[in-house]
Structure 1
Amino acid sequence: MIFDHRTYACRPGTINKHMKLYEEHGWKAQARNLGQPLLYGKVETGDVNSYVHIWVYKDAADRAAKRAALAADPEWQAYLKLSAEAGYLVSQVNSILTSAPFFQMPEGYALADGPGAG
């Protein structure tokens, strides 16, 4: 199992606008293609203009297939266009993680099967 940890930073004063744009235009397409994230949250201390999400995949091939399905989704493409036009995002950092041997997934978390199974 791998974890795709993503941190995005927004221009000061725009994070709530960005989150609303994503909620209305991006969330459904992303969840439909990737499944439910392990976490999707705003930073409360430190860089308060940023947010983090963590997606879980069976392996690199599962991630590649789901990300390809997302990239091909017309609803996601429309969201990316709106996001670019809004100009709220200023940076993105992605890290692929593997779990520690003692880590257990939270009870009730279900990994989606295949592209678009979310």
Structure 2
Amino acid sequence: MIVEHRTYTFRPGTVEGWLKRYETEGLPIQRRHLNTFLGLYVSEIGRLHTTVLMWRYDSLADRETRRAAMYADPEWQAFISGVWSLGAIQSQDVMIMNPAPFSPGA
């Protein structure tokens, strides 16, 4: 098992609009294609205007196959084009995390 950990930093004032759009448009598409949705978290203290999105996959190969199918989906292409055109996201960091042997689900 692996966890994909995505951190997005937004322009001030744009997180709430992105969250609404992601919940109604982006997340349903991703749920069709990707493995287990672990959650989306919004910063309260510390680096503000930041979200963390996490997905669980069986392996890197599982992630690669699922994400390729999602990228080929015309609905996802339309959604992501619209998101990037907003200019709300300033940066994106992606990490692939392996669980420690004593982690739940490891």
Task: Check the 8 A contact 2:11/2:89 in 1, yes or no.
Answer: yes
Task: Report the Cα distance in structure 2 between the residues aligned to 1:39 and 1:89, rounded to whole angstroms.
Answer: 19
Q: Residue 54 of structure 1: CA displacement?
A: 1.0
Which residue is 2:87 aligned to?
87
Large movers: runs of 4+ above 4 Å: none
Task: Report the Cα distance in structure 1 between the residues aligned to 2:53 and 2:73, rounded to whole angstroms.
Answer: 20
Unaligned runs of 5+ in 2: none
Which residue is 1:2 aligned to?
2
Which residue is 2:44 aligned to?
44
Map Cα deviations across residues 24-79 of structure 1 (whole Å, 9 max, x no partner). Answer: 22111011111331121111111220100111111111010011011011111111
Give aligned-pair identity as a percent. 41
Q: Give me the TM-score of the superposition, normalised by structure 1.
A: 0.84
Query: Residue 99 of structure 1: SS of its match in structure 2?
Result: coil
Task: Check the 8 A contact 2:35/2:57 in 1, yes or no.
Answer: no
Unaligned runs of 5+ in 1: 106-118
Matches within 5 A, 1:1-118: 1-105=1-105
Q: Give me the TM-score of the superposition, normalised by structure 2.
A: 0.93
Higher strand share: 2
Map Cα deviations across residues 91-113 of structure 1 (whole Å, 9 max, x no partner). Answer: 000111100010013xxxxxxxx
Q: CA RMSD in A?
A: 1.1
Query: Residue 21 of structure 2: SS of its match in structure 1?
Result: helix
Closer/same/farther in 2, CA of residues 24 and 39 from structure 1, 3 Å limit: closer
Task: Report the Cα distance in structure 2 between the residues aligned to 1:49 and 1:6, rounded to whole angstroms.
Answer: 14
